Amino acid sequence: MDINVRKRSQIQVIQLRGPLRLGLAVDELRQTLEDLTAGGDTRIVLNLAEVPMVDSSGIGLIVRYLASTKQRGGSVKLLQPSKFAIQTLRLVGVLNLFEIFDQEDVAVDSFV
């Protein structure tokens, strides 16, 4: 999994490339989220444009950090999830927990 992190006006934008699933991909994203939140960053945009699929361990991870960032006044917002990723989130009932955006600017600005 390719993970790229940029900070834009106090918001961390994480760009992923590749399937988000059990193993290295989920482990690396967990570590990234752990590092960011440990450093006090709780406002996160997750760019899923190049993520063809998210499995249940990926969903569990995102949902977990959604909960913990929200408790600290932040959130995890999703940018451009694929049709199949949206379908998957809907099938397990968590789609409505997330704010979803088409444009990075709008996602970033939504935090202010």
Partner 1 sequence: MNDQRTGRDVDVLELLDLRIPAESAGVAEAADKVTETLTRLSVPEEKRLVIGLAVQEALANAVVHGCGNDPSKEVRCQVKTNPIGLVLIIVTDPGPGFTSELLPDPSQQESLQMDHGRGVYLIRQLMDEVQFVNGGNEIRMWKY
- Residues in touch with a copy of itself (CB under 8 A): 24, 27, 30-31, 34
Q: Which is closer to a copy of itself, CB of 2 or CB of 27? A: 27
Buried b (16+ CB within 10 A) or exposed e, 46-75: bbbeebeebbeebbebbbebbeebeeeebb
Given a contact cutoff of 8 angstroms between Cβ atoms, the answer to whether 25 and 61 are in contact is: no
CB closer to a copy of itself out of 34 and 50: 34
Taking CB under 8 A as the rule, does residue 17 contact partner 1? no
Q: Which amino acid is at 68?
A: S
CB of 85 to partner 1, least distance (A): 10
The span from the CA of 83 to the CA of 51, in Å, is 10
- Work out how close the CB of 96 gets to a copy of itself at its nearest, in angstroms, rounded to a whole number: 29
Between 29 and 89, name the residue whose CB sits nearer to a copy of itself.
29
| E strand map for the chain | 2-8, 11-17, 43-50, 75-79, 100-101
Residue 56 touches which member of a copy of itself, partner 1, none, C-beta under 5-8 Å by kind: partner 1
Residue from 39, 93, 102, 112 in contact with partner 1 (CB under 8 A): 93
